[in-house]
């Protein structure tokens, strides 16, 4: 039996090693695909920008990130997730002009490039995309709800490809923070908000001691709920080492973006 157990252990180690290698290779291929898609999109933006010198209006990039796509993969599997992505691409193609470009950048992120377009037209395309994604997608007999957070950069003369994509991405992040199915048009103040989120994400949060009580006391002073606790909704703040007690809205988004363990609370 010792020999059989040893063989089983070795096979288990080999299987885990192989799974790790497959995961790493898949992530490497995904990164390469994202880089290639971004490069191709950048080339299209460069072409559209060059036409501005001949009288065309500046291009407007629109970035979309599907809401809750990880849940679809987790609940129905990656095959179902792939079918949702195909349907999303089909619907997006149906709301743009023949001259526009629809591209999947990787994962659950899409881009729409609108060359020679007015500001109002660009916003209308984003709004049509929201409506197009609203009906559920049927997967294995189940109705799967889809929506996307959408960021729009209204192009201006003299903007580089990198700047256009950066601003569209910033607007998309702002839309993501605003809730499901939101559209945000980039404005300069969004950079300040993004910097604040990054600052909060990089700061150290002081976790409560093990003896901390749950919920809020009758005096409304703040106490704590651990990550994953059903009592999270009753937690009224978080103790920052320099800024004192902060409300959940002030730190939760930054914690989620940074992967901080405190962001894994439910509710």
Confidence (pLDDT) at 233: 35
pLDDT at 55: 95
What is the C-alpha separation between 95 and 67, in angstroms, rounded?
A: 19
pLDDT digits (tens, 9 = 90+) for 196-246: 666 666 655 444 444 443 333 333 333 333 333 333 333 445 555 555 555
* Three-state DSSP state, 200: helix
Q: Determine the Cα–Cα distance for residues 44 and 38; give it in Å rounded to an integer.
A: 10
Provide the pLDDT confidence category of residue 3 given band limits of 50, 70 and 90: low
Q: What radius of gyration do the chain's Cα atoms show?
A: 23
Kindly report, residue by residue over 68-90, the tens digit of the pLDDT.
898 888 888 888 899 999 999 99
The three-class DSSP label of residue 175 is helix
> Which one, of 66, 65, 59, 70, lies nearest residue 96 by Cα?
59
Residues in a beta bridge with 106: 109
The catalytic residues are 108
Q: Could you read off the pLDDT of 107-141 as tens digits, one per residue?
A: 899 999 999 999 999 999 999 999 999 999 988 78
* Portions of the chain given CATH number 3.30.70.270: 20-187
CATH number of 20-187: 3.30.70.270
Look up the pTM and report it. 0.68
CA dist., res. 57 & res. 98, Å (int) = 17
């Amino acid at each position: 039996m010792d020999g059989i157990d040893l063989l089983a252990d070795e096979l288990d180690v080999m299987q885990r090693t192989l799974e790790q290698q497959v995961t790493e290779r898949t992530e490497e291929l995904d990164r390469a695909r994202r880089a290639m898609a971004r490069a191709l999109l950048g080339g299209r933006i460069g072409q559209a920008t060059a036409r501005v010198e001949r009288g065309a209006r500046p291009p407007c990039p629109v970035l979309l990130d599907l809401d809750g796509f990880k849940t679809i993969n987790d609940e129905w599997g990656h095959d179902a997730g792939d079918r949702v992505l195909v349907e999303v691409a089909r619907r997006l193609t149906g709301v743009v002009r023949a001259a526009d470009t629809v591209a999947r950048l990787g994962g659950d992120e899409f881009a729409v490039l609108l060359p020679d377009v007015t500001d109002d037209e660009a916003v209308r395309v984003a709004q049509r995309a929201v409506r197009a994604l609203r009906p559920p997608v049927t997967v294995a007999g189940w109705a799967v709800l889809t929506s996307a957070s959408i960021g729009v950069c209204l192009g201006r003369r003299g903007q580089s490809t990198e700047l256009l994509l950066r601003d569209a991405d910033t607007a998309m992040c702002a839309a993501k923070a605003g809730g499901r199915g939101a559209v945000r048009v980039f404005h300069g103040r969004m950079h300040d908000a993004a910097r604040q989120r990054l600052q909060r994400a990089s700061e150290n949060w002081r976790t409560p001691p093990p003896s901390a009580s749950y919920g809020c006391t009758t005096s409304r002073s703040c106490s704590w709920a651990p990550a994953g606790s059903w009592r999270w909704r009753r937690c009224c703040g978080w103790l920052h080492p320099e800024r004192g007690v902060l409300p959940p809205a002030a730190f939760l988004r930054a914690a989620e973006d940074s992967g901080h363990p405190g962001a894994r609370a439910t509710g």
